[in-house]
Structure 1
Amino acid sequence: MSTTTPTTVVAPLTIQDAEALVEAARTAAEAAGVTVAVSVLDAGGHPLAFRRDDRAVLIAGETSTRKAYTALQLNAPTADLVDAVQPGGLFHTLPTALDRPLLFIAGGVPVRCDGRLVGAIGVGGGAPEQDHGFASAAADALA
């Protein structure tokens, strides 16, 4: 006789969830007087939502997406990974070893539901610490 443990099904991020994440990050950034771009990816790394403020630097769109992708692939906030890619760090060669759009700058945060990874949010345009704060505030608001 085999016994199976029931598994909990966690719903994927919806478009509504993604839009709520974008709005929460933008609201936090606006309150701080910072113009940003925000990207939200689902668990497969596919874009669900994106928004760049009119006055945000153009590169913020690319950095927000790469930060989200990095947080998703490594299941960790990019702020926690910055030291790992420095010389002597655990992931020192990772940015050049893979042909993927990884970016080890604070501002990417995994999004979890019931403890399971369901996507990621990335924010670009402010100082790295600010971007991390905006992304974290949005992820926390969704939880």
Structure 2
Amino acid sequence: MSTTTATTPLTTQDAETLITAARRAAEAAGVTVSVTVLDAGGHLLAFRRDDRAVLISGETSTRKAYTALQLDAPTADLVDLVKPDGPFHTLPTALDKPLLFIAGGTPVHRDGRLIGSVGIGGGTPEQDHGFATAAVQELS
């Protein structure tokens, strides 16, 4: 008889915590953003776009979250891999998936397991990465 402990999935309350923390970090930097939270299956759990955030930030935040989830890595860590001389330079066009290799997407883990992701769009890639990282740290 084996005993396994179930990992609690990402909840809507967790998603609200991620959104609140990301928006707080963005506001402190004077940046308006969109925040997307996906569950482990890649389904939208929560989304919020600041009133003044550029419209495309909604799409970029969602694609960054999706990319971080599918590859289980912060998108900031993937940027160099898809450059023309990178080992995965064809990945962005090889698949018919909404991947986006710009910093700002971060996987979310609990008990060492992937349970979802968060993506931020609206600031510079470095800012978005910082906001996503702050959000994940707030959750853990």
TM-score, normalisation: structure 2? 0.98
Name the counterpart of 1:33.
30
The corresponding residue for 2:85 is: 88
| SS in structure 2 at match of 1:49 | strand
**Displacement, 1:7?**
2.2
Identity of aligned residues (%): 76
Post-superposition offset of 1:72: 0.1
Return the alpha-carbon distance in structure 1 between the equivalents of residues 133 and 111 of structure 2.
Answer: 16
Provide the residue aligned with 1:110 in structure 2: 107
- Trace 1:47-126 onto structure 2 (pairs within 5 A): 47-126=44-123
User: Which amino acid letter does the alignment assign opposite residue 25 of structure 1?
Assistant: A
Moved over 2 A (4+): none
Q: Aligned residue pairs: how many? A: 140
Q: Structure 1: give runs of 5+ residues left out of the alignment.
A: none
- The amino acid of 2:13's aligned partner reads Q
The amino acid that maps onto 1:98 is L
> What is the TM-score with the length of structure 1 in the denominator?
0.96
Unaligned ranges ≥5, structure 2: none
Instruction: State the Cα distance separating 1:63 from its structure 2 match.
Output: 0.1
> How far apart are 1:34 and its partner, in Å?
0.3
Residue 89 of structure 1 and its aligned partner are, at CA, apart by 1.0
Q: Which has the larger radius of gyration?
A: 1
Distance 2:87 2:121 in 1: 25
Secondary structure of the residue aligned to 2:136 is helix
Backbone CA RMSD of aligned residues: 0.9
